[in-house]
Amino acid sequence: MKKFIKWFMILTIISLALALAGLGLYISSIYVNAKSIEINEDILTSSSLTLNIFDIDNKPIKEDNEINHSYAKIETLKPYTKEAFISIEDKVFYQHHGVNYKRIAKAGLNNLKSRSLKEGASTITQQLIKNTQLSSEKTYNRKIKEIALAQKIEKLYDKDQLLEFYLNVIYFGNNCYGIESASNYYFSKPAKELTLEESCTLAGMIKSPAKYSPIKNSENCLKRRNLVLKEMEKDGKISIEEMTIAKEKKLELNLNQDKINRLNSYSQAAIDEAEKILKIPARQIALSGYKIYTYQDQEKQQALIDAIKSQEITSDSAGIIIDNEKSAIKAYVGDSCYKILEARRQPGSCIKPVLVYAPAINEDIIYPCTQILDEKVTISDYTPKNVGNLYRGYVSAREALSKSINIPAVKVLSYVGIDKAKVYAQQMGINFDEKDDSYAIALGGMTYGVNLVDLAGSYSTFANNGYYKQPKFISFITDRNNKLVYINKTSSEKVLREDSSYLLTDMLKTCAKSGTAKKLSSLDCDIASKTGTVGKPNSKENLDAWNISFTKAQTVGIWLGNLDNKPIQYAGGNQPTQIVKRYFEIIPDDSKFDIPNSIVEKRIDALTLDEDHIVSLANSFTPDRYTQTEIFSNFNLPSDISNKFATVEKAKVSSHVEKGMAILEIEAKDYESYDIIVNGQIVNQIVGKNGKQKLSIPLSTAKQDIIVENYYTLTPENKESQQLSFVKKEKQTPNSKWYI
């Protein structure tokens, strides 16, 4: 046994040694090869670069596509500006030769513990390499190359040059590459005029421009700024007094309004998509000479701009046009202080078709004509409310969706199930947080919400017969030699049956004709629509207003709101819908929705639906006036056939005697007639009445029979009758009583 253990340990040690040796050789080979990579000096020194972006006709898009309009020389910056970045990013920048091995060892240990690559321990030199010479993917292979090239570049340039390059290429969010661009955007001043606290704000941002954004995450940004100040004081770069004074100052911005619209241009959206495709920053895309070919349609782009301008919107706004067949974004307009497409907003009632009604129809749970009781209700500790606390009783699913009634939507979600409904929505491009697990999501109550592209894209599923394809800005990309390096081949996935998509579309056509989007009813096009309005909690003010509309050919999405959550005076059925209407007035659309062969029309019994809230087919005896024609999927037809008009139910009658008169109370229905017969003669008749009817019939003999006959007014041949007998006591007294 001891001998076995001894040999086992020896073999284990040998195996480990061989593995480590192999790993060492692998790392060494990558390192040696990386050393032979030439440093691209143009990327380091170019101050103003232009990206080549083209529209659907291969014409250059006439928008501001420049990267780094100006360049900050290191000698022009205040000492504290430079020291702010060094203190928070690389304290020993002037001591190392490109790599801080202690930090790498510590980060490597932490990464092994967490089984991830969260910590990079990159020096300023390494960050410079990552942002200019390599892709940003997190792999050990790239990390080794980064180390090798960092050591190489340190031999080519002095520390001040490297710091200057670094400060002019790093990303500060909101399309700001380099400190000069960031200073100009956030503070409307050149970098050489930055104050101590402004310098620390910018230095703190670069770790995560979104998380530490001074616009949308000001509290995070302020804490991060103060951390930079603390580190500077700790490093002896500023005094305690300077740190204290700076910490007490508020986070003040002076956004450059000339730069704002550039953030939300079609070109910028395409650039952002290209960065994800090529896995390199925009500056490197420009320097590498890539050409980006998009789906932008100039006519539709201008029409969307004009449509939004027609409403004189004073809040943030955005609009998008998607070609449904290709899932190609033909136009995009945005106006805000930072990138709208990076924001997620509560969708309000616009989520109902995607999350609630489409899944319910596809799961054969409801028909468009299914009746749902609109009432005060609590489901799983959630108590939803309708707008204005108005409850309508039984309404059809079609009416509930078209008029955006809340209670039915929550009920239908409970029929489908939250988890199953979310799977459908996710397949249509909607992302949820793990905390999105309550029935509030039926009304758009999500943790983070949705962005405009994803929400509009989900609606294109209905126009595409149930197939979803992620919308894209970019058609293809070529390199500087016009060689194709990327082409959009995003595949479509089946989410809904064709008939389910059509039924949902038809319900939303009702919304455009007579529902919350009825401002579209005057358009001469086959259009479906849904509105959404998000109210501010405990207030009558609104935060978001949406309209998502689609024809067979295209989907139009409009959002109004403020990304700093200032209230707006708009509602989904008003300004967003008016913008959609104006767009289709400028760009007429004659496309028609295809009616699948699996869609059929059936006559249903309107009386059974109204009285019993059951969808049943009309029988052959049912008069036309008591039927209604509805559309159904051939895969989900009503199984019940109404027995109304085929047989007659006996009328509900109660009676008593008052002062020698027979008092009859009949539960009347307006489609039935009731004959009151005494001695073979009709003495009274009820026709076209609904509800309880009271009659008085004189009792003239000791024994009196009264016959009540009822029949359907339009088919009197079938009748039901009942006899009521009234008998007076034989011995007459002043107080004699009649018995029934």
Enumerate the active-site residues.
89, 349
- Contacts of residue 164, Cβ cutoff 8 Å, sequence gap at least 6: 72, 73, 74
Residue that has been written with the tokens 């096009």 in this structure = 525
Instruction: Give helix 196-205 / helix 179-187 axis angle, nearest 10°.
Output: 120
| Token pair for 628 | 């209604």
Whole-number Cα distances in Å, 488 to 60, 280, 463: 19, 18, 21
User: C-alpha angle 489/580/59, rounded to 5°?
Assistant: 45
Q: List the one residue out of 550, 551, 548 whose CA is nearest residue 576.
A: 548
**What is the b/e burial string over 372-411, where b = at least 16 CB atoms within 10 angstroms of the residue's CB?**
bebeeeeeeeeebebeeeeeeeebbbbbbbbbbbbbbbbb
Whole-number Cα distances in Å, 409 to 317, 351, 418: 27, 10, 12
Cα(616)–Cα(326) distance, rounded to whole angstroms?
A: 40
Cα(410)–Cα(365) distance, rounded to whole angstroms?
A: 14
Q: What is the DSSP string of 160-201?
A: HHHHHHHHTT-B-STT-BSHHHHHHHHHSS-GGG--HHHHHH
Q: List the one residue out of 555, 600, 606, 740 whose CA is nearest residue 663.
A: 740
Q: List the one residue out of 73, 71, 91, 72 whose CA is nearest residue 83.
A: 91
Cα(197)–Cα(194) distance, rounded to whole angstroms?
A: 8
| Alpha-helical segments (H) within 428-533 | 452-463, 498-514
Give φ, ψ of 506 to 5 degrees. -65, -35
